[in-house]
Structure 1
């Protein structure tokens, strides 16, 4: 199964040299699931010719806001709606989660309660799952076509399911602890409150559920349609 990675942002150069860029992280996360991958740098306006060029699509995270005026935002929303209409599966992570929601009629905002950083627990329909987070923006109103399948007190719409057509997640299962630590060192100072980063730092190194989420993502892509 060929998965097209729609890259909407880049890891900091100082981190990507050692840990890879976002497509590398997703390939590591989904290693062993039977997928092949092809990356399209949509952030640079490199779009697939058709939603059928790959068997499924994965939209990465980004430092950009989905509500900002970047050239790739509107074409990406159109691509998402086209894939949805033609039942080509889409998985969205963080920015990807938000852009799918916005494309489908939901609302994304800079959250007034601030940042979620580091290991974070979510309720997945009664199942507790811990994943790394790095976001301030979030989906504040889910589209009518979406079912909320995960939440916590801070993030009401933490994961959304659009029947068999899209599965999106606010957290970052592809971010390992060392990358979160690197983000706090390279991007966090002056952006994320020190107390939030200190609390996240204390939790790094504890077990999380990235492998379970990778399996869930793989099952979503492979299910019959």
Structure 2
């Protein structure tokens, strides 16, 4: 395990595998905060000091535009951390939340993007070092980042939506590199209760095989790359 100390902002609601999945994939000391239950770390000190080297923001069953009280608090915190140059990585909901909190726009899509999808890199960002120009990752979302924050760079996408961005040391990825196959299958099956058609769910389940999941393993590289960025410590952002 590396010497990085990462604050995991777990935005998932209820008992979920989010913390377990991120702890497995992050080669770091991880302190988890259940932010959806208003469990937050202390604010940075007046001198900018903060005990964590980086932040990861998880997915959630909520929508970022729901504007729950805990979301307002979280938005204030991530804006402060961004200004201090603390590296942050948002995953799925976290990707959308960071984009919205820093001045972007998130809105509902016409349908779910569900299952293993191909993603194209648009930029030679260090976040995707070692990954091919196209790669496979697991997707489960019905909202998307429509407009990036001022100064942000779109790093990857597909025919459905923006799949990754950067703004200084803040990054977001729409896909789920932390999922194992068990989580992917559970999430797909759970979409029936959310009104996703049986045909869509059945098709995604049929594709959720060990072989197909193995194709998505390369996407986990973003965690190693993000921690490499975090190793350089807080840096001044270039955003206005």
State the TM-score, normalized to the length of structure 2.
0.82
1:146 to partner: Cα distance: 1.1
CA contact (8 A) 1:132 1:176 kept: no
1:3 to partner: Cα distance: 0.0
Q: CA RMSD in A?
A: 1.8
**Aligned twin of 1:81:** 79
1:140-219 to structure 2, matched below 5 A, reads: 140-155=146-161, 157-163=162-168, 165-205=169-209, 206=212, 207-208=215-216, 209-219=218-228
1:190 to partner: Cα distance: 4.9
**In structure 2, C-alpha distance between the alignment counterparts of 1:138 and 1:223, rounded to whole Å:** 30
1:69 to partner: Cα distance: 3.0
| Secondary structure, aligned partner of 2:86 | coil
**In structure 2, C-alpha distance between the alignment counterparts of 1:54 and 1:118, rounded to whole Å:** 33
1:106-159, Cα deviation, whole Å (9 max, x unpaired): 1111112x101111111012711211111101111111121000000111x210
**In structure 1, C-alpha distance between the alignment counterparts of 2:165 and 2:120, rounded to whole Å:** 12
Aligned residue pair count: 212
**Aligned twin of 1:222:** 231
**In structure 2, C-alpha distance between the alignment counterparts of 1:211 and 1:111, rounded to whole Å:** 26
| Secondary structure, aligned partner of 1:28 | helix
Is it true that 1:100 corresponds to 2:98 in the alignment? yes
Q: Name structure 2 gaps, 5 residues minimum.
A: 45-49, 124-132, 236-240
Q: Name structure 1 gaps, 5 residues minimum.
A: none
Bigger drift between 143-152 and 47-56 goes to 47-56
Bigger drift between 68-77 and 193-202 goes to 193-202
Is it true that 1:5 corresponds to 2:12 in the alignment? no
**Aligned twin of 2:19:** 23
| Secondary structure, aligned partner of 1:108 | strand
Task: Select 1:42's aligned residue among 11, 35, 39.
Answer: 35
Task: Select 1:116's aligned residue among 113, 135, 147.
Answer: 113
Bigger drift between 54-63 and 174-183 goes to 174-183
State the TM-score, normalized to the length of structure 1.
0.87
